[in-house]
Amino acid sequence: MSTIQQDRLVQLFTSLCSINSPPKQEREVVNYVKSFLQDLGFELQEDNASEAVNGNANNLIATLPANISGAPKIFFSSHFDTVEPNPNLKIVIEEDIIKTDGTSILGSDDKSGMAAMLEAVRIVVENNLSHGQIQLLLTICEEIGLRGAAALDLDLVDSDFGFVYDTGRPIGTLISQTPTHDTFDIRIIGKPSHAGVMPENGISAIQIAADAIANMKLGRLDPETTANIGIIQGGQATNIVCPEVFIRAETRSRNKEKLEAQVAHMKECFETAAAKFGGQVEIHHDRHYESYRLDENFLPVKVALEAAHKVGLSPEMRPTGGGSDANVFNARGLPCVVVGCAMEKVHTHEEFTRISDLEASVNLTLSIIQTVADMKSG
């Protein structure tokens, strides 16, 4: 395996993190990565995903042509956006740890994954290592509903299977199972009235919502299933019986029967409460993404396990309660597996990355590329 230049890798990672790129505002980091990959000889294409998300950037599809024949075509994927803005990022490096000063996120979700694959392909090109065709599918707006992946122009993708770097350590962890994720937009309609003069003439949408939620199973329902009320908006003034409340909610499960049962339960709670107080409820239910279940015979898993063992890792397969672009890719016919990379305490201001994990992630990426190259026919 080629030697990793640690200082160069750290500089790449911190440079990516230092570019503010919340959802819909990824253009600066897209341009940075385009320049990086163009210097390595990648063929670069953007799709029109910005139109679908009303943002300032598109998905980037970068292709490195094969220098050997007969090997499968693979992709690596990560996302440009971070969970919140970090325009005044202050990075602190203490021995093996890269973090912030605590005033913002670091952005290692998902720039640790992106840095690992970028450094790996730079090493491949610089050392003229044998490789089949490699595509990088780098997406926008992952953090607000996998929207970039959903809008990805598949006509620009030419890969047999791939690897999505978007979960935490240990390096080499593979996500074997994810939930199906359903969302709700609920509008509760009451009736306004003066709260001090004629409250009995009103119907409180807040009271309907409170009754529904009080009777609802929420939180961790079992090892496979969760449910949550995430947003409640409503009310005009304390002297007005609230006429309308808007609620956003979700439920997830790795078991479809349990998911359908929870969906029915949540709907019933809202409908029963509305009828009890004489109000109305409008429920819009949507399937956010589909679950998948992978085993060791699934080709991306098989390759990743073999590659991890080659570089001394002890890969494990585990389920998760979250989703990623891999849910969309698998559903759209792009076989892939989520691979653990150098991110910890993500979505918090305590987020950090270990330099040693970044190096291990680069080595794993190089090993995947080599393993696939060895699969060439003849």
Query: Is residue 265 assigned to a domain?
Result: yes
What pLDDT, on the 0 to 100 scale, is given for residue 378?
44
To the query of whether residue 282 is one of the catalytic residues in this protein, the response is no
- Residue range of the domain that includes 189: 180-289
Asked whether residue 378 is assigned to any structural domain, the reply reads no
The Cα-based distances of 346 to 8, 235, 342, 343 in angstroms read: 23, 34, 10, 7
Q: Would residue 274 count as lying in a domain?
A: yes
What pLDDT is attached to residue 232?
Answer: 98
pLDDT of residue 1: 55
> Is 142 one of the annotated active-site residues of the chain?
yes
Dump the DSSP string for 325-360: HHHHHHHTT--EEEEE-S-BSTTSTT-EEEHHHHHH
The SS3 assignment for 232 reads strand
Residues 296 and 271 in one domain: no
1 inside domain: no
- Boundary (domain end) residue, out of 274, 289, 304: 289
Q: How many domains, in total, are found in the chain?
A: 2
Q: What is the pLDDT of residues 277-314, one digit of tens each?
A: 999 999 999 998 999 999 999 999 999 999 999 999 99
Answer yes or no: is 349 within a domain. Answer: yes
Residues 30, 142 within the same domain: yes
Q: Which of 261, 289, 317 is the last residue of a domain?
A: 289
Statement to judge: residues 54 and 112 lie in one domain: yes
Is the preceding peptide bond at 22 cis, omega within 30 degrees of 0? no
73 belongs to a structural domain: yes
359: domain CATH number is 3.40.630.10
Domain presence at residue 295:
yes
Q: Are residues 307 and 324 in the same domain?
A: yes
Query: Do residue 336 and residue 359 come from a single domain?
Result: yes
135 pairs with which residues across the strands?
63, 75
Residue 16 shares a structural domain with residue 78: yes
Token look-up 């949540």 returns 266
* 367 and 236 both lie in a single domain: no
Whole-structure pTM over 0.75, yes or no?
Answer: yes
Q: Which of 257, 273, 289 is the last residue of a domain?
A: 289
The Cα–Cα gap between 353 and 194 comes to 55
- Rounded Cα–Cα distance for residues 108 and 88 (Å): 16
User: Which one from 47, 81, 166, 357 is the annotated catalytic residue?
Assistant: 81
Question: Could you tell me how far CA 218 lies from the centroid of its own chain?
Answer: 23
Instruction: Chunk the chain into consecutive blocks of 10 residues (it has 378) and report each block's average pLDDT, rounded to whole numbers.
Output: 88 98 98 98 98 97 96 98 95 97 96 98 97 98 95 97 96 95 97 96 98 98 96 96 98 96 98 98 94 95 97 94 94 96 96 98 98 82
DSSP line for 87-145: TT--EEEETTEEEE-SSS---HHHHHHHHHHHHHHHHHHHTT-----EEEEEES--TTT
Q: Both 166 and 63 in a single domain?
A: yes
133 and 61 in contact (C-beta within 8 Å)? Answer: no
pLDDT in tens, 131-169: 999 999 999 999 999 999 999 999 999 999 999 999 999
Residues 6 or more apart whose CB falls under 8 angstroms from that of 82 comprise: 21, 22, 105, 107, 109, 110, 111, 143
Kindly list the distances between the CA atom of residue 246 and the CA atoms of 122, 139, 187, 210, 275, in Å, as whole numbers in the listed order.
49, 31, 5, 12, 17
- List phi, psi (to 5°) of 41: 90, 15
Is position 217 within any domain? yes
**How many angstroms separate the first and last alpha carbons of the chain?**
24
Q: What is the pLDDT of residue 377?
A: 55
31 and 157 co-located in one domain: yes
Residues 203 and 264 in one domain: yes
296 and 171 within one domain: yes
The amino acid occupying position 286 is D
- Do residue 149 and residue 283 come from a single domain? no
Q: pLDDT at position 3, please?
A: 84
d(Cα 1, Cα 312) in Å, to the nearest integer? 12
CATH of the domain at 248: 3.30.70.360
Give the span between the Cα atoms of 253 and 222, in whole angstroms. Answer: 9
